[in-house]
Structure 1
Amino acid sequence: MTLAFLVTTFLVCLAPGIGVVYTLSMTLGGGWRAGAFAVIGCTLATVVHLAAAMAGLAAVLHTSALLFQAIKWAGVAYLLWMAWGTLRGKGTLDVRAETPGAALRIVWRGVTLNILNPKIPIFFVAFLPQFITPGADGTAQLVSLGLAFVAMTFTVFALYALLAGTMRARVLSSERAMAWLRRAFAASFAALGLRLAFERA
């Protein structure tokens, strides 16, 4: 595992995407605890995508236009639903007291948001082999690189959650700030949904 791989992986994970937007909005809405469960959900989704890529599902998604489109449009619909819920104050920025099963719902929502992006396993298939050393056990290297990517995902998203947690008290004290944040996160989820809609296999 090289420094180039670690730096590239860090930058990939740092780039704002569905997982980052979800983690930030959950932390600002529910605090560090909610943010931590969001991080877990997004990381679990990365594990599933990695396993799918290694099992060859990425190749199937790349060659099967129907399957790719089905997953893609399910993802678009889910992101738009998240945007609507956030705008109404009943989604990720809902600051009401936690209800039973809230942690599981946060994790599940994080998994679902990221699972419904068919580009991720295809990305793994294209990205990871670039860092395999010729002559060594390719499978072992892929597993090692994949686990490192998962660990980096968890670390970077946890840092995002910590950052949002430190800002939460100031945000909650301002109704105007909360209103603008709802609009901003709703717009972010909608924009991510529209971007996904134009993705091609």
Structure 2
Amino acid sequence: MGLDFWITSFVVTATPGSGALFTIAAGLSRGVRMGQLAAVGCALGALPHLVLALSGTAAVLAASPVAFEVMKWLGVGYLLYMAWGTWHQRGVLAPGLEDGERSSSAGRTIGGAVLVNLLNPKLTLFFFVFLPMFVDPASPGATVRMAMLGAAFMVVTLVVFGIYGACAAWLRSYVVGKPGVMGRIGQVFGLSFVALAMLLAFTPR
């Protein structure tokens, strides 16, 4: 794994997107633990896309307008659902929960983070294009090496998003208990998810 791979992976993961936004919202509303769990969920959400890319299914997705559109609009719908929830301070941006509710909240946070990445068809196509840049698909053992690169990319995602979640949790003390501030933050996150949904909706195959 050369330096160019690590730099590219860092730039891609550090660029704000739906996963980063979800992680920041989780850390901001519920603290560092939920922020880290969201980061884990986002990293896990990339795994199915990696499997699709390695199995060749990504090529089918790229060649099939119907498959791509179905996956894309499911992603758009979920982002709009996230927008509605954060605007009304529900879901990932809901206030911190009592001890008895934290276990189920952790599961919902991880599940939501997985869905954010899982329903993004661009991630499958990204792996399909990204990995062959660093490994010749025709060389012996190429699939294993690409799987290792994909796993390394997921680790970078986990670390970068974990930092996002921790920083958001640090800012939490300045906004918790201030309904007016939280309301405005919820609106900003809601509009951001709408913007991401629009970008995904107009993404060509």
Q: Same fold (TM over 0.5)?
A: yes
AA in 2 matched with 1:147 = A
| Mean CA deviation greater in 34-43 or 8-17 | 34-43
- Alignment partner, residue 158 of structure 1: 162
AA in 2 matched with 1:33 = R
Count of residues in correspondence between the two structures: 201
RMSD value over aligned CA atoms?
Answer: 1.5
AA in 1 matched with 2:196 = L
Deviations 1:150-197 (A, max 9, x none): 110101000111111111101214333212210110011111111110
Supply the distance in 1 between the matched residues of 2:131 and 2:53 (Cα, whole angstroms).
10
| Structure 2 length-normalised TM | 0.93
- Structure 2 spans left out of the alignment, 5+ residues: none
User: 1:136: Cα distance to partner?
Assistant: 5.7
- Alignment partner, residue 188 of structure 1: 192
- Alignment partner, residue 153 of structure 2: 149
SS of structure 2 residue aligned to 1:101 = helix
User: 1:37: Cα distance to partner?
Assistant: 1.5
The answer to whether the aligner puts 1:38 opposite 2:38 as a matched pair is yes
SS of structure 2 residue aligned to 1:170 = coil
AA in 1 matched with 2:24 = L
AA in 2 matched with 1:43 = A
Deviations 1:104-143 (A, max 9, x none): 1111111111111111111111111111268563222211
**Which residues of 2 match residues 63-142 of structure 1 at below 5 A?**
63-98=63-98, 99=101, 100-132=103-135, 137-142=141-146
SS of structure 2 residue aligned to 1:92 = helix
| Structure 1 length-normalised TM | 0.95
AA in 1 matched with 2:70 = A
The answer to whether the aligner puts 1:23 opposite 2:26 as a matched pair is no
Supply the distance in 1 between the matched residues of 2:97 and 2:154 (Cα, whole angstroms).
31
- Alignment partner, residue 14 of structure 1: 14
SS of structure 1 residue aligned to 2:117 = helix
Partners of 2:30 and 2:169 within 8 A in 1 = no
Supply the distance in 2 between the matched residues of 1:200 and 1:117 (Cα, whole angstroms).
13
